[in-house]
Copies of this chain bind each other. A is one copy, B any other.
Amino acid sequence: MNVTSKTHDIATTDCQRVSQVLARVGEKWSVLIIMLLASGPHRFTAIKRAVNGISQRMLTLCLRGLERDGLIKRTVHAVMPPHVEYSLTPLGQSLTEPVMALGGWALAHVADIDAAREAFDNAEAAPAPGTR
């Protein structure tokens, strides 16, 4: 943002950081993985089964991105057969609360958004007053 007052400059930096984080946590698969892991650690194959439609390669990339951001932890269990488990870190745990708050808003207002879209599309389809 590029505005004149000091107050707006501060808000600007906030905006950019917020939008960066929203872009990351807003990514569809990341949200689903974080919400799944909020219920406890899961193995790779269990995540793949739960997150319907994700490819093996995309899941690998997502998990790696979340691990790199410090939101999830990858643990290799040296048992027979060996297996890899993913869990939320304390940082990832702390993210679940605001994500669920936004989720609560979403659940409460999905119908409002759908109704708004329908009204908008109907208004578009009808001739505007004064155009005929």
Residues of A within 8 A of B (CB): 1-3, 8, 11, 14-15, 17-23, 25-28, 31-32, 35-36, 39, 49-52, 67-71, 91, 94-95, 97-99, 101-107, 109-110, 112-113, 115-117, 119-121
Assembly of this chain: how many copies? 2
Inter-subunit contact A117/B70 (CB<8 Å): yes
A107 in contact with B18 given A67-B120, A68-B120, A117-B68 (CB within 8 Å): yes
Closest to A89 in B: B116
Enumerate chain B residues within 8 angstroms of A102, measured Cβ to Cβ: 18, 21-22, 25, 98-99, 101-102
Q: Known interface pairs A1-B36, A28-B23, A49-B3. Does A91 touch B106 (Cβ–Cβ under 8 Å)? A: no
Determine whether the beta carbon of A18 is less than 8 Å from that of B2: no
CB contacts (< 8 Å) of A113 on chain B: these are 21, 69-71, 91
